Structure 1
């Protein structure tokens, strides 16, 4: 079996990468979305790492979480302060080994990192879509990703891998296009949002829409953007991504740059300062309307309803792939019971399922942090899939 090595990637990095763009669904053949509307042309920003094998059997699609993007690994130039968001997992010798796998990651439909979204130009008006952009679903995002995969000449994905909202895309891929997926890796995810998860998203959306600079979603023509509302939305999200243990270890009740409380509304505590900092950073890179759209897509996601008439067992009866499902003990946004429920439904269909609950103190975001156990589990699962693919094709080591 041959391996495909990025010779320019020192120290386990994929090295310098390039964001690319794929445009499709131009009139008169627009993309029909689940709301009943249509959209086109559609552009997806994407990146690839590693090399596609001649037999095209080593492609791994990585799906990003809520506010992620296509930049999953490597760096654009030497001035980048940090690499892609999952650089710990993607690269030569890492869990998703780019010497073996051809890795693809795209920004979701409705996003704001190069893919078509509410901030994109509406060709009908020559102005940004704003709220004229159709509400999209996780299914719509996956349909767009399939167009990209087809464009890349890949008939079957070795695996689709993702955490959180990325995990929703993984599950959708596995039942929407069962013949195209050999393996599916769902990390810290769910088949449908709980009322608690929807509630946090709704409070975040209301923070944006209550900002007077939001202007009913039509803020692109004005210099003032709904930055305060978006910052508060991000602060709310960050609380859900951490855990009580993480908060206590990282901040506890420690004060920020002072010896005593101020008796005013400054950021007395380190946790207050941290949340304000995260909110301020977020408005520099994300679009408020995109935040509304992607959170709504996550809230609308219901695999059982979409593919099983309300039954998870019926939904997974469509699947043909092997699954790896991973949850984390301190994740209270998508707790382990939700992963166990999907695993049970998978097993009732006789599917090849591996399930692991990993002890971690850092809450929902644990899948984004270094974790030797997760890295080893993912590495072995992908290697097993590749061995099976090569065995099926008759290739010998």
Structure 2
């Protein structure tokens, strides 16, 4: 009699939220409690906490501090291996570290998980002050300006009066530009990479579709799902949002060159019944699955909404007036194949008087994600902004 075959292994369901929780390992995180924060769109957020990481040693006069800003689904873990408390390795590891463009033997590097995020900073998955329940649906709307205001308080808590430079791409580039506009006396120079000065209708449309995908998921429960059992959160909606977003992060030419119309190995996308997937579908499924295990749907909605409302000209007389008033030296760069933040968006910023040397172009087939992967081209920009900021 033939031996019975072992039962097929199935992946465990994802947790209701991929957020870091207080019973998880802290890893390299440190925490700063920053009090109540007034919000630009009204009200205040009580008991704000930011999770952050640092590398290097702060000089006695504090002159060597640098702030690195992450993008939408990034976090404070800029450099380092994945491990307990850190679901992914550092996202700019080729640029930050001893002997690298941002040399941690010279610079004191700070990176914070953004306000509204889900890797230790106050966000929808955080416990609401005075309650045992997460914020969930009660979490207020935030702007990029609010996020920077929280980072200003973090700088105060760390004893940093002035950052030699603030560097960021994508949503991190928005915060870099906001720092330059809102805190000119506290920033030596800013790298504004692969971003815009104000979200366009095209960007708002694409991002609103992602929000709609999340909140339409029955597992959303109006935003109050965080304490549900594994497998019962808004994973389908968050995964769909990630698929939509990822198509804006890469380029049509790259996807066609990598995948074309190839089937996923072992699957038949043309089968008349229960068809399999094209390879590009499997690629998007992979990225969706990774995100639902490490991110929070409420944070995704909160941060994407902040992208939609972003305008450096908010309460500054409009976008062009705000750009004209910036005095902090700016190094402005775009990725030539970026279809999320096209080159024209960066050209608008580079036309401001504060921009040094005009627009720089990063050449890449990777589209918007070029700001993460084209380290050899970004390294000189990092060195330049550090040189400007230390003068």
The two structures have a TM-score, normalised by structure 2, of 0.88
**3-state DSSP class of the match of 2:93?**
coil
Residues 173-192 of structure 1: pairs in structure 2 closer than 5 A: 173-192=179-198
CA contact (8 A) 2:331 2:355 kept: no
1:318 to partner: Cα distance: 3.6
Of 189, 194, 199, which residue of structure 2 is paired with 1:193?
199
Distance between the aligned counterparts of 1:376 and 1:272, measured in 2? Answer: 36
- Which residue of the partner structure matches residue 393 of structure 1? none
The two structures have a TM-score, normalised by structure 1, of 0.87
Distance between the aligned counterparts of 1:351 and 1:280, measured in 2? Answer: 40
Structure with bigger RCO (C-alpha 8 Å, 6+ apart): 2
Q: Cα gap change, 1:267/1:100 in structure 2, threshold over 3 Å: closer, same or farther? A: farther
1:360 maps to 2:370: no
CA contact (8 A) 1:329 1:357 kept: yes
Of 333, 344, 348, which residue of structure 1 is paired with 2:340?
333
Distance between the aligned counterparts of 1:267 and 1:358, measured in 2? Answer: 37
Of 375, 383, 386, which residue of structure 2 is paired with 1:382?
386
Structure 1 residues 340-367: Cα deviation after superposition (integer angstroms, max 9, x where no partner): 11111x12xx654542012211100101
Residues 1-397 of structure 1: pairs in structure 2 closer than 5 A: 18-25=28-35, 30-75=36-81, 83-223=89-229, 224-258=232-266, 260=268, 261-264=270-273, 266-307=275-316, 309-312=317-320, 314-344=321-351, 346-347=352-353, 352-386=356-390, 388=391
Structure 1 residues 243-294: Cα deviation after superposition (integer angstroms, max 9, x where no partner): 1122122212211113753234544211000111111111101111111100
CA contact (8 A) 1:323 1:353 kept: no
Distance between the aligned counterparts of 1:42 and 1:82, measured in 2? Answer: 25
CA contact (8 A) 1:321 1:352 kept: no
Distance between the aligned counterparts of 1:167 and 1:86, measured in 2? Answer: 14
CA contact (8 A) 1:24 1:40 kept: no
Distance between the aligned counterparts of 1:256 and 1:182, measured in 2? Answer: 50
Distance between the aligned counterparts of 1:300 and 1:38, measured in 2? Answer: 18
Q: Cα gap change, 1:279/1:311 in structure 2, threshold over 3 Å: closer, same or farther? A: closer
Distance between the aligned counterparts of 1:175 and 1:244, measured in 2? Answer: 35
CA contact (8 A) 1:245 1:362 kept: no
Distance between the aligned counterparts of 2:145 and 2:87, measured in 1? Answer: 34
**3-state DSSP class of the match of 2:49?**
strand
CA contact (8 A) 1:329 1:360 kept: yes
Q: Cα gap change, 1:379/1:211 in structure 2, threshold over 3 Å: closer, same or farther? A: same
**Which shifted more, 108-117 or 368-377?**
368-377
Distance between the aligned counterparts of 1:265 and 1:70, measured in 2? Answer: 42
| Structure 2: gaps spanning 5 or more residues | 1-26
Distance between the aligned counterparts of 2:193 and 2:83, measured in 1? Answer: 30
**3-state DSSP class of the match of 2:348?**
helix
Distance between the aligned counterparts of 1:79 and 1:163, measured in 2? Answer: 24
- Which residue of the partner structure matches residue 11 of structure 1? none
**3-state DSSP class of the match of 2:68?**
strand
Q: Note the aligned Cα RMSD (angstroms).
A: 2.0
**Which shifted more, 369-378 or 325-334?**
369-378
CA contact (8 A) 2:181 2:325 kept: yes
Distance between the aligned counterparts of 2:86 and 2:319, measured in 1? Answer: 46
**Which shifted more, 369-378 or 34-43?**
369-378
1:139 to partner: Cα distance: 0.3
1:222 to partner: Cα distance: 2.3
Q: Cα gap change, 1:76/1:239 in structure 2, threshold over 3 Å: closer, same or farther? A: closer
- Which residue of the partner structure matches residue 12 of structure 2? none
